[in-house]
Amino acid sequence: SQTIHQWPATLVQPVGSPLSLECTVEGTSNPNLYWYRQAAGRGLQLLFYSVGIGQISSEVPQNLSASRPQDRQFILSSKKLLLSDSGFYLCAWTFDLSTYNSPLHFGNGTRLTVT
Amino acid sequence: KQEVTQIPAALSVPEGENLVLNCSFTDSAIYNLQWFRQDPGKGLTSLLLIQSSQREQTSGRLNASLDKSSGRSTLYIAASQPGDSATYLCAAPGSGNTGKLIFGQGTTLQVKP
């Protein structure tokens, strides 16, 4: 069976500091990977998605970036955090696009507070 | 551009009631629609996925229906229990063949004992 791991669970960082959140998927190959952010009262916002190694699509302009150095590893980064980056960050995966009816599976999320 | 709306934003019912959560979407060219549950401070859990060729999907006390022509989906919860208290989100594929999902704002359900 497939599992998704996301860490850390909580993070408190000062403004201007760097960020690195990591997500890994086990038990499958070539998954589609996603980073979502959930801010209070704003719903779930898609930040980045990737259909393969080195392939990153950005949905929203921001000071965040994403990388996929390995097939089942997805990293969310920032060089300098802003207060507005605070939120609940969720990593998710699904099977490749040839299997259209594959559910989206989420990790447990990272609660980021920028102070 | 796909937009997903959920009504109501919040719902409080006594235990044992049957209830319906609503989801509407603007782009009916979807290949599926998904319903999720989110407990406070947790990630989302997939509940049901309805394929575009299906009209409904059932899992236990949950039944989800899909009407592409009207751009609507409903989640029916039978005999609600306090453990059903959570936020329920629906999601439809965004425009283009990317596999990304567009989420509604969710309906927060409270089932009172």
Q: Average pLDDT over chain B, rounded to whole?
A: 93
What per-residue confidence (pLDDT) applies to A1? 86
Mutate to test the interface with B, among A3, A33, A44, A88 (most CBs of B within 10 A): A44
Q: Residue B66 — pLDDT band, cuts 50, 70, 90?
A: very high
- 115 residues of chain A, pLDDT tens digit each: 889 999 999 999 999 999 999 999 999 888 999 999 998 777 899 999 998 898 998 888 678 999 999 999 999 999 999 999 999 999 999 986 556 678 899 999 999 999 9
Query: Rounded to the nearest 5°, which phi and psi values hold at B86?
Result: 180, 180
d(CA A97, CA A31): 9
- DSSP per position, A16-62: T--EEEEEEEES-SS-EEEEEEEETTTEEEEEEEEEETTEEEE-S-S
Structure tokens given for B33? 């629609």
What mean pLDDT comes out for the span B83-110? 89
d(CA A61, CA A65): 9
What per-residue confidence (pLDDT) applies to A99? 60
Contact residues, chain A, for B90 at CB < 8 Å: none
Nearest to A104 among B46, B94, B98 (CB): B46
Q: Residue B1 — pLDDT band, cuts 50, 70, 90?
A: confident
d(CA B63, CA A82): 42
Q: Residue B101 — pLDDT band, cuts 50, 70, 90?
A: confident
d(CA A22, CA A99): 25
pLDDT of B98 higher than 70: no
Rg of chain B over Cα atoms, rounded to whole angstroms, equals 14
The shortest C-alpha distance from A102 to chain B (Å) reads: 8
What per-residue confidence (pLDDT) applies to B76? 97
Phi-psi region of B106 (alpha: psi -120 to 50; beta: other; left: phi over 0): left
The shortest C-alpha distance from A97 to chain B (Å) reads: 6
- DSSP per position, A58-85: E-S-SSEEEEEEETTEEEEEESS--GGG
What mean pLDDT comes out for the span B57-85? 96
Name, in order, each residue with C-beta under 8 angstroms of A100's C-beta and a sequence gap of 6 or more: B31, B32
d(CA A8, CA A112): 9
